[in-house]
Chains A and B, each alone.
Chain A
Amino acid sequence: MSAAPTTLAGMPLPSPVLVAAGCGGTGRELAAYVDLAALGGFVTRSISLDPRPGAAAPRVVESPSGLVHATGFPNPGVQGFLATELPWLVQQGARVVVSMVAGSLGEYAELARRLGTAPGLAAVEVNLGPADGAGPGVLDVREPVHTGHVVAAVRRELPDGVAVLAKVRPDPLRVVESARAVTDAGAAAVVVGGPLAAALPDGRPAGLGGPAVGPVVARCVAEVCAGLDRAAVVAGGGVATADQARRLLDLGAVAVQVGTAQLHDPTTLARLVAALDPTPDPDTPGGPP
């Protein structure tokens, strides 16, 4: 069976497989293992207005079937990103989705203004469920209604050609409410997934990703797809195999994001892109001549 071509927020994508925020380095490291142009999209690590050094070590610790991480969003700031990372990514033919993190609505708007004029940007992903926990420079968005406010602030500042994806917390009880709030505020797609709120062994707030979160994300995706028929859903969390990706697509997601599995096995994305290639294999019996 060949899947239908993937369209996300009006953009045709060559693959329904994207790399999740924070799991593709700056792109240069990932390019060694997968053709960035063949990915559905390259979601950057979360970029902030000012440079951030990131959290103290240890930042990533293994737990049964998961990775607990609190990186503190290390990044060169939007100016450094636009100068040294984005042009290279665009040159590679990647559809670049910039993950955004900021400390206030005003900072989100300013960040969106700075990104909106950058050539080659395909979309932004507003990180509304940073599981590292709120801290300096990270807005604590707990109530679904607040997620809508952030998306509206970002949407207002961006040109029409740049889509807004909103990544919401994978909380099965409130995810539909969050998804509704962000789509009402102008998000072209809801990214359902990402880390669950957790703690590092030393007690610092952190996110849990990996196989452990897969069933939670599946529930969230099912809830959003059933509760909100007009929302485009991108699902992420615990995806490591083509079958797992297909199950999320069958639940109604238009695309999937792969994160922890790529950290586990650097060949994961390349395998999934090949396995979910919508182009029918001419050698398959019954395929086109």
Chain B
Amino acid sequence: MTGPARGAIHVDGEVLATKRVGAFTHLTIVAPGVGERFRPGTFVTVRPDDRARPAPRPFWVHRVRPVGGHAAALQLVVEPRGAGSRWLAGLPVGARVPITGPLGRAFALPKEQVPCLLVGEGYAAAPLFPLAERLRERGCPVSLVLAAPDEPRLLSALEARRSARAVTVVTADGSVGVRGAVADVLPDALARSEAAVVYATGTTATLHAAAAAAEAHGAWSQTAVEQPLACATGLCHGCPVPVVAENGSPRSARACYDGPVLRGDRVRWHDLEAGLP
């Protein structure tokens, strides 16, 4: 049985294709209904079919595409790091996977045709690609900052050049693009793009830098926080993100349900970095 949770449904998916690209595995999965409901910034969970691993695994959606006879197949980007992501990355074509989604709050899109700067890091840059498409459809000029520790973990830089007006690549080891961190290139990228909105994905440090740079520049920011999740459906209160409520009082949001996309000026970044609720 499935039910609508802001559009979330639960289906048995099937792996249609699997491809190694650099350090990542790109998985194409048919999950009827999930792709149709997807909005950039929402995510899906894939459940190991193994009761010894009770936590569902969250993944960003990189693309939603017609594949074969399927109207809206999902493409997930998996960096094999833990037991769950290694299992998923190792699945063969044809494997069945229980999948729930889309989950969480999507990126808010500007009502007017304003320039936007998209900042993404590693595999977490995945949702910026469908976001760039939506923004361009609305007539918003899109600039992109793609960051990664190294080239194998730089996501789809070639495609990025097709989907954005300007692309800045930055890697920690300098293997491609500018050597450094996101924070180093943000002021320049913001000035050149004249962005009114900054969209950011990646580590907390990157999101914090993007939110701070946006604020200094007088732009809005939308940050997709990535926290370890347990249920990913808002049930367990296991993924606190310290925020400031509309009335200015501190409160705790759930990364999976109130997020993952939160306004950058609402997140208490120092508390988040310290693990405080």
Residues of A within 8 A of B (CB): 22-25, 29-34, 45, 53-62, 64-67, 69, 71-72, 74, 210-211, 240, 260-267, 270-271, 274
Contacts and interface: CB of A to CB of B under 8 A. Distances in A.
Contacts of B4: 32
A267 B1 contact: yes
Identify which of B55, B237, B251, B277 gathers the most chain A CB atoms within 10 Å of its CB.
Answer: B237
The 4 closest A-B pairs by CB, nearest first: A32-B5, A60-B238, A29-B234, A60-B230
A264 B252 contact: no
Interface stretch (B46-54, B85-93, B114-122, B190-198): B46-54
Interface string B122-143: 0000000000000000000000
A57 B240 contact: yes
A209 B237 CA distance: 15
Contact of A57 (B3, B56, B239, B257): B239
Given A25-B234, A57-B228, A74-B240, A265 B252 contact: no
A54 B275 CA distance: 11
Contacts of B240: 53-54, 57, 59, 74
A37 to B, nearest CB: 14
Contacts of B54: 62, 65-67, 210-211, 260-261, 263-264
Interface residues of B, number: 37
A240 B52 CA distance: 12
B230 A29 contact: no
A25 B10 contact: no
Interface string B20-43: 000000000000000000000000
A57 B235 contact: no
Contacts of A211: 51-52, 54
Given A53-B277, A74-B252, A264-B54, A24 B239 contact: no
Contacts of A67: 54-55, 230
Nearest to A261: B54
A29 B5 contact: yes
A59 B239 contact: yes
Contact of A69 (B233, B238, B275): B238
Identify which of A25, A33, A65 gathers the most chain B CB atoms within 10 Å of its CB.
Answer: A33
B47 A22 contact: no
14 contacts: A53-B250, A54-B277, A67-B55, A71-B236, A71-B237, A71-B238, A211-B52, A264-B54, A264-B56, A265-B47, A266-B100, A266-B231, A266-B235, A274-B1
Nearest to B57: A62
Contacts of A29: 5, 233-235, 257
B209 interface: no
A271 B51 contact: no
Given A56-B275, A266-B231, A270-B1, 6 more contacts: A25-B236, A32-B5, A34-B3, A64-B52, A67-B55, A67-B230
Contact of B277 (A22, A55, A265, A266): A55
Contacts of B231: 23, 262-264, 266
A62 B231 CA distance: 11
B48 to A, nearest CB: 9
B85 to A, nearest CB: 13
